[in-house]
A and B are shown apart, each in its own frame.
Chain A
Amino acid sequence: MNAMLSRVADSLYWMSRYLERADHVARQFDVHLTIVTEQAVDVARRRRRRLITCLVNEDEYAAAEASDYDLAYLLTFDEDNPSSLVNCIASARENAHQVREQINSQMWEQINQMYLTMRSQSMADLWSGQPHNFYHWINQEIYRFQGITDSRIMRDQGWHFVQIGRYLERASETADSLNVDFRELYSSALETDAVDQQTYLEWVGLLRGCAAYEAYSKVYTANVQPRHIVEFLLLSPIFPYSVRFGINRIQSSLQFVGEETETPKSARIFRLSGRQRAMLDYAQVDEIIDGGLGSYLLNIQNQCAQIHQLIYETYIAYSIEDKLSTR
Chain B
Amino acid sequence: MDEPERVIATRDARFAAYQLDGAYDEMFTPDGVPRPPYASLYKRLLELTPAELETRQQTADLSFLHQGITFTVYSDARGTERIFPYDLLPRIITAAEWEMVERGLVQRITALNLFLHDIYHKGQILADKVVPVDLVISSKHYRRQMRNLDVPHGVYVAVTGTDLIRLPDGRFAVLEDNLRVPSGASYMLANRQVMKRVFPGLFSLYGVRPLEFYGQALQNTLAALSPVGAEETTTVLLSPGVFNSAYFEHTFLARQMGIPLVEGRDLVVHDNIVYMRTTAGLRRVDVIYRRIDDDFIDPLAFRKDSMLGVAGLFNAYRSGSVTLANAIGTGVADDKAVYAYVPAIIRYYLGEDAILPNIETYQCGDEKERGFVLANLDKLVVKAVGESGGYGMLVGPHSTAAERETFRTLIESDPRNYIAQPTINLSRAPCFLDGQVEARHVDLRPYILYGKRVTILPGGLTRVALRRGSLVVNSSQGGGSKDTWVLNW
The chain A residues found within 8 Å of chain B, CB to CB, are 1-9, 94, 97-98, 100-101, 105, 108-109, 112-113, 116, 157, 257, 260-262, 315-316, 318, 320, 323-324, 326-327
Q: Which of B230-287 contact A (CB under 8 A)?
A: 242, 247-248, 250-252, 254-255, 260-263, 265-266, 268, 270, 276-283
| A299-B157 Cα distance, complex, nearest whole Å | 59
| A257-B278 Cα distance, complex, nearest whole Å | 12
Q: Which of B64-92 contact A (CB under 8 A)?
A: 65-68
Check if A100 sits within 8 Å of B251, measured CB to CB.
yes
Q: Nearest-CB distance from A14 to chain B (Å)? A: 14
Q: Nearest-CB distance from B287 to chain A (Å)? A: 16
Q: How many residues of B contact A (CB 8 A)?
A: 28
What are 8 A-B contacts defined by CB distance under 8 Å?
A4-B278, A7-B266, A98-B242, A100-B252, A100-B255, A101-B255, A116-B66, A326-B281
Check if B276 sits within 8 Å of A116, measured CB to CB.
no
Among candidates A98, A105, A315, residue contacting B67 with C-beta atoms closer than 8 Å: A105
On chain A, the residues within 8 Å of B250 by CB distance are 101
Q: Nearest-CB distance from B332 to chain A (Å)? A: 31
The chain B residues found within 8 Å of chain A, CB to CB, are 65-68, 242, 247-248, 250-252, 254-255, 260-263, 265-266, 268, 270, 276-283
On chain B, the residues within 8 Å of A157 by CB distance are 279
Q: Given A7-B265, A113-B66 in contact, is the A316-B279 Cβ separation under 8 Å?
A: yes
Among candidates B68, B260, B278, residue contacting A108 with C-beta atoms closer than 8 Å: B68
On chain A, the residues within 8 Å of B261 by CB distance are 100-101
Q: Which residue of B lies closest to A111 (CB)?
A: B68
On chain A, the residues within 8 Å of B252 by CB distance are 100-101
| A108-B248 Cα distance, complex, nearest whole Å | 12
On chain B, the residues within 8 Å of A116 by CB distance are 65-66
Identify 13 new A-B residue pairs, CB closer than 8 A, beyond the known A6-B277, A7-B266.
Answer: A1-B280, A3-B278, A6-B278, A7-B265, A9-B279, A100-B68, A101-B251, A109-B68, A112-B67, A323-B281, A324-B270, A326-B281, A327-B281
Check if A327 sits within 8 Å of B65, measured CB to CB.
no
Q: Given A100-B68, A324-B270 in contact, is the A261-B254 Cβ separation under 8 Å?
A: no
Q: Which residue of A lies closest to B255 (CB)?
A: A101
On chain A, the residues within 8 Å of B254 by CB distance are 101
Closest 8 CB pairs of A and B: A3-B278, A100-B251, A261-B280, A101-B254, A3-B280, A101-B251, A101-B255, A315-B279
On chain A, the residues within 8 Å of B278 by CB distance are 3-6, 261
| A9-B266 Cα distance, complex, nearest whole Å | 12
Q: Given A5-B262, A101-B254, A324-B270 in contact, is the A262-B68 Cβ separation under 8 Å?
A: no
Check if A6 sits within 8 Å of B279, measured CB to CB.
yes
| A164-B88 Cα distance, complex, nearest whole Å | 44
Check if A3 sits within 8 Å of B65, measured CB to CB.
no
| A100-B254 Cα distance, complex, nearest whole Å | 9
Q: Given A7-B265, A98-B242, A101-B261 in contact, is the A262-B282 Cβ separation under 8 Å?
A: no
Q: Nearest-CB distance from B13 to chain A (Å)? A: 35
Among candidates B248, B251, B277, residue contacting A5 with C-beta atoms closer than 8 Å: B277
On chain B, the residues within 8 Å of A7 by CB distance are 263, 265-266, 277
| A323-B270 Cα distance, complex, nearest whole Å | 12
Q: Which residue of B lies closest to A8 (CB)?
A: B260
On chain A, the residues within 8 Å of B265 by CB distance are 7
Q: Given A112-B68, A116-B65, A324-B270 in contact, is the A5-B282 Cβ separation under 8 Å?
A: no
